[in-house]
A and B are shown apart, each in its own frame.
Chain A
Amino acid sequence: MNLETRKPGQKKFRNIFLVSWFPSFFLLLCFLYSLGSCKREERGYRVAPPAADKIQTTSVSELHPAGGEKPGPVKNHYEENAYATSEGQRLFSAFNCVGCHAHGGGGMGPALMDNKWIYGSQPQQIFATIVEGRPNGMPSFRGKIPDYEVWQLVAFVRSVGGLGTSGGSPGRSDEMSAAPPPSSMPAQTPQSAQVPPPR
C-alpha cells in the first residue's frame, strides 16, 4: 500500500511476523518442542509366550557359596513402560492380590508399600515369589499367570514400594488409597525382613 492511495486516518497494516523476528522464532521453538510428544512408548500387544528360565536359580537370601559372585538384579523392561505397569495394576486387582495385600498396605499378607522385603525386592526375586509361592499363605501361580503378566505384576509391585521408575509408575491409583500414587512414592532403601511370628 503506497502513500498516495492512503486515506487520512487509515492505520498502517503491521505484520508482527515481519516487524520482529522474536515472536516467530518463539512460535517455531514451541512447535519444535511439541514435536517431542509425537513419540509414543511401545505397547506390546502381540507378546510372544516367553520362557523365564533364569528364575530357577534366583536366590532370595544374602547367603552365597564361598567365592561366588552376588548376582545383580535382572532388568525388567516393563518398569519403564507406563502401559505395562498399569496393566500390572489392573491384574493386581483382577487376580485378587488385593485379597491379602490390600492396595499395598497389607492385610492377611505383608504390606508392599513399606521397605521390608522378606523374600527380596529385586525383580527376579518378586517374580520367583509370585511363581513359586511362599510359606504361610502366598499361593504359587505357576502355570496360572503367563510369564509376561507376572513381569507386569512385578513392575507394579515394585512401583508400589517406591522402587519404580518415574516415567513408568502409575500416577493414579484405581481405588481410594491412604498411600500416595506409585509415581509419587518416595524412594526407599529395601531391607530384608523376617517372616513375622504367628500370632
Chain B
Amino acid sequence: MKEIVSIFPIFSATEMQSALDPAGTQASEISSLWWLYFWILIAIFTLVLICICIAVLRAGWKPRESRPNEPPPQPSAATDRRIFAIVSTCVVATVLILFALLFIDIFASRSVYALSSEPHPLSLKIIGHQWWWEVQYQDPDQPSNTMTTANEIHVPVGKVVRLELTSTDVIHSFWVPNISGKKDLIPGYPTKTWLKADKAGSFRGQCAEFCGHQHAHMRLEFVAESHSDFDKWLAQARQNARPPSTPSQQRGQHVFLSNQCIMCHNIEGTPARATTGPDLTHFASRTMMAAGSFPNTRGYLAGWIANPQNIKPAVKMPPNALSSDDLNALVDYLESLK
C-alpha cells in the first residue's frame, strides 16, 4: 500500500515538505482551499468523462453506414429546445461555480492576512543570497540584540512571526510548504509576510523562484518548538561563539583566522567579522549544512571545506588548499561551535 501511495506524492500523509500536511495557519487555509478545488474539479472531470462515454456509446448504436442514402436528420423544434436548456444550464453552473470559488479564495486570503494585525509579532529579517538564507532575529526594544544566523529558523509555536524579506543578488522566493505560502525576496524592495506555526516539528523550506545554478540546493530548516525551548535557543544563539578548549580546536581557530575563511564568514567573539558568507557563530548547532544540502557531519564538512565546487558546483565558496592536519583541526574547531 505504501508503494502505491508513494506513486502519488500528494496523498502521502506526514511529510517534512508538503503543503498538504499543514502545520501553520497560512498553510492550513491554503491546504483546505486546495482540497476544495481538488474535489470540485474531480467531480467536474468525472461528469465530463461520463458525458463523453455516453456520446461515444450512443453514436455506436446508430451506425451511419447502414443508411447510406438517407439524408442527415434535421433537428426538430423539441430537440432544439432541449439542447438550448442543457447548454444554458451548463453555462450558468460554470459561472456560479467560478464565482463561488472566487469568493472562497477571497475569504481564505483574508484569514491568511488577518495575521498581520498582530501588534507584537516576532520580527525576522530574511536576506536571500545565491544560494543560502541569511536570517536576522530583531529585537525592537534593543537593536544591539539583533542576532544573525543562516539557513535555520526557529519559531515558537502559536506566535505570529513577521518576516521582512529582501535579497542581495537575484529574486528568490521563501516557501516553507507546511507553514506558509510563497513570498518573493526582491533585491532593493523589501517584502513582508506573516506566518504562525500551530504544530511543533521540523520542516523544510525551499527557494521557490529559479535563482541560478544551485536553486534546488537552496533550502532551509524551519523548526517550530515550544516557547521555553525557543527562548533557550535564542538566548544561546545570542551568545558569542565558545572559545576553543583543546589544542586542536585552538589550532583550528588559528587556521580559520589566517586563511581564506575569514574573508567571508563571521564568528561572533573572534576577529572574523565578514558578512559575505553564512554566519558560523553556532555552526555546530545546525542539523544541515550548505543550505540544507546535506547533514552537518564531520565527513561532509571536511569535504565541503576542501572543495565545495565538487559537491555544489558554482557555489560562491572557493576550494581551500589546506594540509590534512590543518583541515582536521579546522573541522574540530567548527564542530565545537555549539
Q: Please report A residues at the B interface, Cβ cutoff 8 Å.
A: 43, 45-49, 94-95, 143-146, 148-149
Q: Does B114 contact A (CB under 8 A)?
A: no
Q: How far is the CA of A144 from the CA of B263 in the complex (A)?
A: 7
Q: How far is the CA of A193 from the CA of B232 in the complex (A)?
A: 59
Which segment, of B33-41, B239-247, B312-320, faces chain A? B312-320
Q: Does B94 contact A (CB under 8 A)?
A: no
5 contacts between A and B (CB under 8 A): A46-B309, A94-B263, A144-B263, A146-B320, A148-B318
Are the C-beta atoms of A47 and B260 separated by less than 8 Å?
A: no
Of B213, B264, B276, B319, which is within 8 A of A47 by CB? B319
Q: Does B111 contact A (CB under 8 A)?
A: no
Size of B's binding interface in residues, CB under 8 A: 16
Are the C-beta atoms of A45 and B263 separated by less than 8 Å?
A: no
**What residues on A are CB-neighbors of B263 within 8 Å?**
94-95, 144-145
Q: Which residue of B lies closest to A46 (CB)?
A: B309
Q: Does B310 contact A (CB under 8 A)?
A: yes
**What residues on A are CB-neighbors of B318 within 8 Å?**
47, 146, 148-149
Q: Does B259 contact A (CB under 8 A)?
A: yes
Least Cβ–Cβ distance between A53 and chain B, in angstroms: 14
Q: How far is the CA of A49 from the CA of B314 in the complex (A)?
A: 15
Are the C-beta atoms of B259 and A43 separated by less than 8 Å?
A: no
**What residues on B are CB-neighbors of A146 within 8 Å?**
260, 318-321
Q: How far is the CA of A41 from the CA of B262 in the complex (A)?
A: 31
The B interface, classified by DSSP as helix, strand, loop or mixed, is: loop
Q: How far is the CA of A146 from the CA of B308 in the complex (A)?
A: 13
Least Cβ–Cβ distance between B260 and chain A, in angstroms: 6
Are the C-beta atoms of A145 and B313 separated by less than 8 Å?
A: no
**What residues on A are CB-neighbors of B145 within 8 Å?**
none
Chain B, range 237-284, C-beta contacts under 8 Å to A: 258-260, 262-264, 276
Q: How far is the CA of A144 from the CA of B262 in the complex (A)?
A: 8
Q: How far is the CA of A144 from the CA of B321 in the complex (A)?
A: 11
Are the C-beta atoms of A46 and B313 separated by less than 8 Å?
A: yes
**What residues on A are CB-neighbors of B319 within 8 Å?**
47-49, 146
Of A94, A143, A145, A148, which is within 8 A of B258 by CB? A143
Q: How far is the CA of A95 from the CA of B213 in the complex (A)?
A: 23
**With A45-B314, A144-B259 as contacts: A94 and B264 at CB distance below 8 Å:** yes
Least Cβ–Cβ distance between A111 and chain B, in angstroms: 24
Are the C-beta atoms of B276 and A94 separated by less than 8 Å?
A: yes
**What residues on B are CB-neighbors of A144 within 8 Å?**
259-260, 262-263
Q: How far is the CA of A33 from the CA of B259 in the complex (A)?
A: 48
**What residues on A are CB-neighbors of B260 within 8 Å?**
143-146
Least Cβ–Cβ distance between B322 and chain A, in angstroms: 10
Chain B, range 267-313, C-beta contacts under 8 Å to A: 276, 309-310, 313
Least Cβ–Cβ distance between B257 and chain A, in angstroms: 10
Q: How far is the CA of A111 from the CA of B50 in the complex (A)?
A: 77
**What residues on A are CB-neighbors of B310 within 8 Å?**
46
**With A95-B263, A145-B263, A146-B319 as contacts: A43 and B258 at CB distance below 8 Å:** no
Least Cβ–Cβ distance between B273 and chain A, in angstroms: 11
Q: Which residue of B lies closest to A43 (CB)?
A: B314
Q: How far is the CA of A45 from the CA of B313 in the complex (A)?
A: 6
Q: How far is the CA of A149 from the CA of B309 in the complex (A)?
A: 14
Knowing that A46-B309, A143-B260, A149-B318 are A-B contacts, what are 18 other residue pairs whose CB atoms are under 8 Å apart, sorted by A's residue number? A45-B213, A45-B314, A47-B309, A47-B318, A47-B319, A49-B321, A94-B263, A94-B264, A95-B263, A95-B276, A143-B258, A143-B259, A144-B259, A145-B263, A146-B260, A146-B318, A146-B321, A148-B318
Q: Which residue of A lies closest to B312 (CB)?
A: A45
Least Cβ–Cβ distance between A99 and chain B, in angstroms: 12
**With A146-B319, A149-B318 as contacts: A45 and B309 at CB distance below 8 Å:** yes
**What residues on B are CB-neighbors of A149 within 8 Å?**
318
Least Cβ–Cβ distance between A69 and chain B, in angstroms: 33
Q: How far is the CA of A86 from the CA of B141 in the complex (A)?
A: 40
Q: How far is the CA of A43 from the CA of B319 in the complex (A)?
A: 16
Q: How far is the CA of A46 from the CA of B314 in the complex (A)?
A: 8
**What residues on A are CB-neighbors of B321 within 8 Å?**
49, 146
Q: How far is the CA of A106 from the CA of B308 in the complex (A)?
A: 34
